[in-house]
Amino acid sequence: MAAFSNSWKGVCKLGCLPTLQHIRHGSKAVTRHWRDMNFMRQKLMAVTEYIPPKPAIPEECKPRTRFIEEENGYTRLLRRQVEETFRENKMIAVCQYNYIHGNDMVLMRHQLRKYNIHVKFFPNEIVRPFLLDSKFKNLLPLFVDRNLLMVSPEIRAQEMLRILKRMPPINLLGVYVDNAILSQQGFLNYAKLPSMVTAQGEVVGTLSLLTSQTSTILQRGPAHLASLLDQYVKQQSAEADTSKETGTPNKTEAL
């Protein structure tokens, strides 16, 4: 023991530590294993198991509760803008929107704004519920893919078609104008019609022509009769003058 202590002191002086050795001790054996519950206890647990009572009304007969999702402020704003757009504009054109360059889109909107035509973008999830309960429900089949609206409080058919010819990616699907829904071809025919002022002038000219012809026809009979009576008076005066010169009585005096 004294030799071990002396050697330990010598090692400590030299600055070296002895190596550590781990000694593994034997663990105890596991003697507790799972055993099945006693048969009598199983019967007791089965008999005393809680059985909840059945409801008086089956679940299938109860009214289903519907969870209504509240609309956020942005959805309400879009719905209000859609209602104002369809209520305040006389011309509403539905177009299919394909991708075009941003500068071309800005240029087209600027050209349309000169004629008081505005471009509107609304998602179909907002537009379709509004159209379903309105007088514009026949426009529902047009809102399938990405769409844009060209709206104007005035009827600017020729100007809008002239600008759309320069934009092939934007296809015209249908137009609501003058309380009627027109297809693309119907709107093209509508644009070829004259303006309201020109049409009114043509109608007034036609009506005045008919009245003038009617007055001419009504005045033709009396004028012809007057001319015949005038000619008769001239003939009678001429015969009277000739009878005076020759001294022979005329037909009226002989009678």
For residues 237-247, average pLDDT: 72
Higher pLDDT, 162 or 29: 162
Please give the Cα distance from 78 to 44 (Å, whole number): 66
| Cβ-contact 126, 155 below 8 angstroms | no
Instruction: Record the pTM.
Output: 0.53
Helix/strand/coil for 149: strand
Looking at residue 245, its pLDDT comes to 67
Closest by alpha carbon to 174, among 133, 196, 131, 143? 143
Q: Dump pLDDT digits (tens) for 85-137.
A: 999 999 999 998 888 888 888 999 999 999 999 999 999 999 999 998 888 88
If one counts the domains in the chain, the total is 1
- Given a cut of 90, whether residue 151 has pLDDT beyond it is yes
Residue at 4 is within a domain: no
Q: Dump pLDDT digits (tens) for 12-45.
A: 544 555 555 555 555 556 566 777 888 898 999 9
Higher pLDDT, 220 or 143: 143
- For residue 81, give the CATH number of its domain: 3.30.70.1730
Tokens representing 15 are: 């600055």
Helix/strand/coil for 148: strand
Q: Dump pLDDT digits (tens) for 172-211.
A: 999 999 888 898 899 999 888 877 777 777 777 777 777 7
Please give the Cα distance from 12 to 101 (Å, whole number): 85
| Cβ-contact 128, 179 below 8 angstroms | no
Residue at 86 is within a domain: yes
- Given a cut of 90, whether residue 238 has pLDDT beyond it is no
Residue at 22 is within a domain: no
Confidence of residue 248 (pLDDT cuts 50, 70, 90): low
Residue at 217 is within a domain: no
Task: Show the beta-strand stretches assigned E in 107-250.
Answer: 118-120, 147-152, 170-177, 180-183
Q: Dump pLDDT digits (tens) for 59-91.
A: 788 777 766 666 788 889 999 999 999 999 999
Which residue's structure tokens are 């693309």?
184
Higher pLDDT, 26 or 157: 157
Residue at 231 is within a domain: no
* Domain with 121 in it: 76-191
Residue at 199 is within a domain: no
Please give the Cα distance from 26 to 22 (Å, whole number): 13
Residue at 63 is within a domain: no
Residue at 144 is within a domain: yes
